Amino acid sequence: MNGCECTPTDAALVKGLARIIEPYRGQPNSLIQVLAKAQEYIGYLPKWVQVQVAEGLGLSLQEIYGVTTFYAFFSLIPRGRHKLSVCAGTACYVKGTKNVLKGVRDAIGIKPGQTTPDSRFTMEIVRCIGACGLAPAVIVNGKDVHGRLEAEQIPEILSLYE
């Protein structure tokens, strides 16, 4: 990421976003639906997208920002192609979440909340993934559970995802 993303860099993205907003123009109650579609289209919600949505729906930028930061589903930063959700629930924490985080950091150089420069991975910490018997565990892309992890296993697991 190179600082402020206050202006769009791709005219095709701007036109595509305008097509998403147009059916909902002046309808502030459609905010979450429009933001979800915009994020699906762009990949995340940079400031220029929030500004266009605010103008299109007749809302303030503060209202848009409040919604995008309230719901965990929305992201204000670019996401990687693969999402690593590292469990920090009680069982995982006790059995080694810190080592798993260190393994990820050593393997791909990112901390929770960050995305690799090649947009391959985004890592986040989650409270519990419901796999306490496999602690410590990680879910990749919301479906692939990897459990009883040691930091040394992380590179091999990450190699499964291009």
Both structure tokens of 60: 């303030």
Distance CA 28, CA 15 (A): 20
Helix (H) or strand (E) segment spanning residue 13: helix 11-21
User: Which residue ranges make up the annotated binding site for [2Fe-2S] cluster?
Assistant: 87, 92, 128, 132
Position 5 scores a pLDDT of 54
Helix (H) or strand (E) segment spanning residue 145: strand 144-146
Position 133 scores a pLDDT of 95
Position 11 scores a pLDDT of 87
- The answer to whether 145 and 139 are in contact (CB under 8 A) is yes
Residues of the chain with pLDDT under 50: 1-4
Q: Classify domain 82-160 at the CATH topology level.
A: Glutaredoxin (3.40.30)
Question: For the chain, where do the domains classified as CATH 3.40.30.10 start and end?
Answer: 82-160
User: Which residue ranges make up the annotated binding site?
Assistant: 87, 92, 128, 132
Strand order in the sheet with 138-140: 121-126, 82-87, 138-140, 144-146
